Amino acid sequence: MSTGTTLVTVTYGDRFDYVRQLVERCAAFAQIEQVLIVSNAATEALTNLQQRWPARVRLIRLESNTGSANGYAVGIAAALECGTDYIWLMDDDNAPTPAAVEVLHRELGALAQRGDPSQVAVLGFRATQQEDIARGVPARFVLHPRSSYFGFHIAQLPYKLWRRMPWGKPSGIPHRCLSLPFAPYGGMLAHRSLYQRIGLPLRDLVLYADDTEYTRRITASGGRLVVYTDAVIEELEESWNIKGRTHNIYETYLLGASEFRAYYAARNQAWFDRHVWRTSPFMYRLNRLVFHALLRFFALRRNASSRLALLHRAIRDGENGSLGPSDTFPLR
């Protein structure tokens, strides 16, 4: 029977250098007893890590790339089976800092002592993924209100216009901690009882927004998901959809280099917003109407009509619940 913390990560393709840095970093921390790597048909070089740290690294090979949702489902199930006390989810291109290891374990222990361990999870801080938090945006504007659409809610529009003015800039001082309704997989630490309670990720989402749906289960039943900005997670590679690369979310979807990523991200976000996050049909429809009007405006402005058509198809599939791997965009 294992104790301590098992770090679970999922990788694919030829990303050995990222995974190597992650494992090397983890090997320096006594709290991380095991690194469990789920290989979505990644290169054979991963066996080198298992040979170098036979007692610390466990490798699970999948015959083909099954996506992040299934990869994390396999990894979480394996970690639970081996009896670990804590499970820490991490992207393959992330690496924990000493502060993240110390702060998250300490704060999780403190939260668990005040309540049910199966109802709390803590999250490391990734500045590019949580840019509004890093900039010190007020908490009520960091969080997406219910019935928002792709993060857009008309009630927040005045503030979004205000913050673009010279006098409306955020403070630049991040919150020390903040409770979130959902979050990415990367950096989330929780006791095994929480994972047993919320189950495994929804495999039909394949990739993108699967972590949103999964972590939402924590707070949907009254649990807490808290991010700590002093628990820094180092990002070895910038994600394709970070805000800093474009002026707004519309350009992120319209100008991104990968149609594959745009399809799955838009499809799954549309599914989540309609089937999970919607509480007011009227407000949902209003936000959806304004979002699509702005999406068409930026598509015309940036001459992105073909990408707009793809996004419309993806959104239609998501709202209709047509999930699973796409025949047009198979996993590689």
**Residues 95-137: tens digit of each pLDDT:** 999 999 999 999 999 999 988 999 999 999 998 878 787 777 7
In sequence order, which ranges of 235-280 are alpha helices (DSSP H)? Answer: 249-255, 259-272
Band (169; pLDDT cuts 50, 70, 90): confident
Q: Which H or E element spans position 219?
A: helix 210-220
Q: Using one digit for the tens of pLDDT, what is the confidence trace for 136-149?
A: 777 777 888 999 99
**Between 3.40.1410.10, 3.30.70.20, 3.40.50.300, 3.90.550.60, what CATH number should domain 5-132+174-235 receive?**
3.90.550.60
User: For tokens 């630490």, what's the residue?
Assistant: 189
Band (191; pLDDT cuts 50, 70, 90): very high
pLDDT value at residue 133: 78
Q: CB within 8 A of 240, min separation 6: which ones?
A: 256, 257, 258, 261
Token pair of 39, please? 């290989």
The answer to whether the CB of 318 falls within 8 A of the CB of 268 is yes
The answer to whether the CB of 210 falls within 8 A of the CB of 255 is no
Domain range summary for the chain, segments of one domain joined by + = 5-132+174-235, 243-319
In this prediction, what percent of the chain has a pLDDT beyond 90?
77
Q: Using one digit for the tens of pLDDT, what is the confidence trace for 17-62?
A: 999 999 999 999 999 999 999 999 998 889 999 999 999 999 999 9
Q: Using one digit for the tens of pLDDT, what is the confidence trace for 211-263?
A: 999 999 999 999 999 999 999 999 988 765 555 555 688 999 999 878 999 99
User: Global pTM?
Assistant: 0.92
φ, ψ for residue 193, nearest 5 deg:
-65, -30
For the chain, the average pLDDT equals: 91
pLDDT value at residue 175: 81
